[in-house]
Each structure stands twice: as C-alpha cells, then as structure tokens.
Structure 1
C-alpha cells in the first residue's frame, strides 16, 4: 500500500527534526531525485509504487547520474542541491529521508535489492547497518 504524502513528510520532518514541513519537503525532493538517478528497472519501479505519488514522480524523473556516487559524494551532491546546506546538514537530510524510505520498504528484500544497486556504505545512510 502506498504511503500518503503528508504522512511521509511528517515522518521525515520528525526524523530530521525540521521546524517546518517545507524543510522536510526540500530535503525529500533533493534526496529522492539523487537516489532515483542510481536505481534502475524493477527496483526503482517497485520503490516508486510504495512511495507517495509526489515522491514517486521525483524518483522516476531523476537527476542525471553519469557514474555511481559513493555515499560521501551522494551527501555532497545533496548539499549542493539544498540551498544553504553544508555537508553536515546534508548528511542529516539524507539520513532523515532514507530512513523513512527504508521504513516504506519494510526493511525486506526490496531494501536489500536497493542496496545491491548502490555502492558500498549506503546501508548506513538508510539507517540499516549491514550485519558483519
């Protein structure tokens, strides 16, 4: 079942401790646009089906990615897309959004398949450190 937009934003706002829903929305749009550039095929489509329609549209119309980004570069790219952001605040934004995305996937095989399409280290950004 698809999560509602207001519920998704409320979860991001709570995780990110944002004072306004606008801040949560700005972070959500930037992070999902970058994430969408790194996911392909059924994995991206299945995630889009679970996200609110507004999020799905951002995920399915991603920014152009020319090569896979390390988690560190992903955070730097997020900082570049959010006005006034620093790498430290962008890390917070990425973690807030991706931890809600992880919840939407219900931490099952979809999250595992998402992580397989991303360079090593993204499990931490999703708030789901890999078991060692």
Structure 2
C-alpha cells in the first residue's frame, strides 16, 4: 500500500520533532537519495512503490554509491548534505526518515533491504535485530 505524501511527511515530522514540514521534507529527500544509492533491484523498486511518488522518484534516481557506506558514514554523508547539520542531528534525521520508511515497507521487505546494507542499519531503521 502506498503511503500518501502528507501522511509520510507528517510521520517524519513527528518522529524528527521538526518544527516545520519543510524541515521534515528536506531530511526525507536527503536520506532517501542516499538510501537509493545503496539499494538495487526489485527491493528498491518494491520500496519505491510503497512511498509517495515524490519520494519514490528520489529513491529511484540516486547518485550511484562508489561503495556501501557504514551507518556512521551514512550519517556523516547526511550531515554534509543538510546545511547546519551535525553528526548528532543527522543521526536524528536518518532515524526519523528510515523508521518511517520501515513502516511504509513491511517487516519482510525491510529485512530484505537490510540484507543489502552494511551491518548496523537495523538500528537506523528502528528495527534492531537480536545479536
């Protein structure tokens, strides 16, 4: 089921405690562009089908990642793309967006997405896996 744009944005805004929808939108765009660079194949297409069209297009048309980023480097890359962000605020941004993405997906798709990503992304998606 595709999440409506406003519902997705409201979820990100609430989780990130952003004062404005514009700040939530900026975080969503940056995080989804970076995430899209790490996902391939049917999982990326399946996730895009569950996102609002605006965000689906960002996910599907990413820059290609030269190498998979560890969660720490993903957060630093997010900070670099958001004006005035720090590693701490970027971690908050990433978590707000990716936990909303995990809800838009389902547990099974989220598991398949996590298999494409370096170890540690489960925490960013708000889906910690038992050790």
TM range (shorter): over 0.9
| Cα separation, 2, equivalents of 1:128 and 1:2 | 21
Which consecutive unaligned segments of at least 5 residues does structure 2 have?
none
| Cα separation, 2, equivalents of 1:85 and 1:63 | 21
1:128 alignment partner in structure 2: 127
Q: CA RMSD in A?
A: 0.6
Which consecutive unaligned segments of at least 5 residues does structure 1 have?
none
2:94 alignment partner in structure 1: 94
TM value normalised by structure 2: 0.98
Runs of 4+ in 1 over 3 A off after TM superposition: none
| Cα separation, 2, equivalents of 1:118 and 1:77 | 15
| Cα separation, 2, equivalents of 1:6 and 1:86 | 27
1:117 alignment partner in structure 2: 116
Deviation at 1:131, TM superposition (A): 1.6
1:105 alignment partner in structure 2: 105
When the two structures are aligned, how many residues end up with a matched partner? 131
2:70 alignment partner in structure 1: 70
| Cα separation, 2, equivalents of 1:130 and 1:43 | 19
